[in-house]
A = this chain, B = another copy of it.
Amino acid sequence: MRAGIAGFRGYSGAELVRWLGRHPWVEPVLLEHRADSADRPRPRGDRGPQRLPCAAEAVQAAGLAVVFLATPADVSMELAPALLGAGARVVDLSGAFRLRTVERYEHWYREKHTQPDLLAEAAYGLPEFCRERIRGARLVANPGCYPTAANLAIRPLLEAGVIDRAAGIVCDAKSGVSGAGRKPSLKTSFCEVTDNFSAYSILKHRHVPEVLLTCGLEESEFSFTAQLLPLDRGILETIYFRTEARSAGELLGIYEKRYAGEPFLRLYEAGQVPDLHSVRHTNYCDIGVTLADGRAVVVAAEDNLVKGAAGQAIQNMNLMLGFPETEGLL
């Protein structure tokens, strides 16, 4: 089978091309939308995957089973209807189809939503919680990088009732720079990022509503800060809450039960936590727990370009096309 990738020059798009190149059943095809950014020099004779124009006819003629949109939200809204019309399933990596309602989208993104029907139709692509809906979906909204780790770390504990919601949940999140995309900007320039660490979008990041929706939290119960690490890839979230659980092991037991059989969730011994090296270039989300008299600290780590983007998108594609969920991802 063949899978198209729009936005293949961006970091998430290039990561999709790399991982799909190792997938046993799927061949990547590059969909040229706008050649706004230079290709890297390639060795002689290395042509890379086939290229097609990103247009309904070409997609239909090539018989692409699925198209990944690694494009900005406005471009995804523009491309999705035609691609779906051409018979392809669509996995969108932007924020365009994640928030269910136009009101919510326009509140958090401060932009008009032009495809309200698709927004209502899209399945949220977090397999650990939405596996069945993803299998049958035409359009999957691949989760944001930050909410993937946050939801995987927080929701099982909320469901088990061990978090003191009144005291609030703090999620202090740190991300590598590739999360900001490949488009040059002062904010992501080498000299601005190296030897630096900075917080942004404090308490108002666009990814917050994905956590509120998935976990069933009120905005006032959840304090989220995004921060930029001087490295290219990786997200680590340090999550604080008050709890009546009496040990880290008790919390780990909840995760263990909830995630039994999940291929991409890994837990650590009580008091041990993952770091970014634990998860770089993998599709795992790793979780560790520390607890001391009523205060818990959960550390969740993932690669923002893999479990936080391209890897999870392929996991969704595997579900949509009926492949084993881990195909090409281990």
Please list the residues of chain A having a beta carbon within 8 angstroms of any beta carbon in chain B.
11, 37-38, 40-41, 43-44, 46, 166-168, 170, 172, 174, 177-178, 182, 184-186, 188-199, 202-204, 219-220, 223, 225, 227, 229-234, 236, 238, 240, 242, 266-269, 271-278, 280-281, 284, 286, 290-295, 297, 299
A194 B190 Cβ-Cβ under 8 A: yes
A189 B194 Cβ-Cβ under 8 A: no
Q: How far is the CA of A271 from the CA of B276 in the complex (A)?
A: 29
Q: How far is the CA of A102 from the CA of B274 in the complex (A)?
A: 35
Question: How near does chain B come to A175, taking the closest CB pair, in angstroms?
Answer: 10
Residues of chain B within 8 A of A293, CB atoms compared: 219-220
B197 A232 Cβ-Cβ under 8 A: no
Give the oligomeric copy count.
4
Contacts A231-B195, A276-B195 given; does A44 touch B238 at CB 8 Å = no
B41 A272 Cβ-Cβ under 8 A: yes
Question: What 8 pairs across the A-B complex have the smallest Cβ distances?
Answer: A198-B275, A43-B266, A172-B172, A184-B184, A167-B167, A202-B290, A190-B193, A203-B292
Q: Which residue of B lies closest to A202 (CB)?
A: B290
A195 B294 Cβ-Cβ under 8 A: no
Q: Name 8 interchain pairs, CB-CB below 8 A, sorted by A.
A: A172-B172, A182-B191, A184-B188, A188-B191, A197-B236, A198-B276, A199-B273, A223-B297
A275 B196 Cβ-Cβ under 8 A: yes
Besides the known contacts A40-B277, A202-B299, A219-B293, 18 further A-B residue pairs in the complex with CB atoms under 8 A apart: A41-B272, A43-B266, A44-B266, A166-B167, A170-B172, A177-B190, A184-B185, A195-B232, A197-B234, A197-B236, A198-B273, A199-B238, A199-B273, A199-B297, A203-B295, A223-B295, A225-B297, A227-B238
Question: How near does chain B come to A41, taking the closest CB pair, in angstroms?
Answer: 5
Contacts A196-B277, A276-B198 given; does A290 touch B203 at CB 8 Å = yes
B267 A202 Cβ-Cβ under 8 A: no
Residues of chain B within 8 A of A272, CB atoms compared: 41
Identify which of B184, B195, B276 contacts A197 (C-beta below 8 A): B276
Residues of chain B within 8 A of A276, CB atoms compared: 195-198
Q: How far is the CA of A184 from the CA of B181 in the complex (A)?
A: 13
Q: How far is the CA of A60 from the CA of B6 in the complex (A)?
A: 53
B231 A230 Cβ-Cβ under 8 A: yes
A170 B170 Cβ-Cβ under 8 A: yes
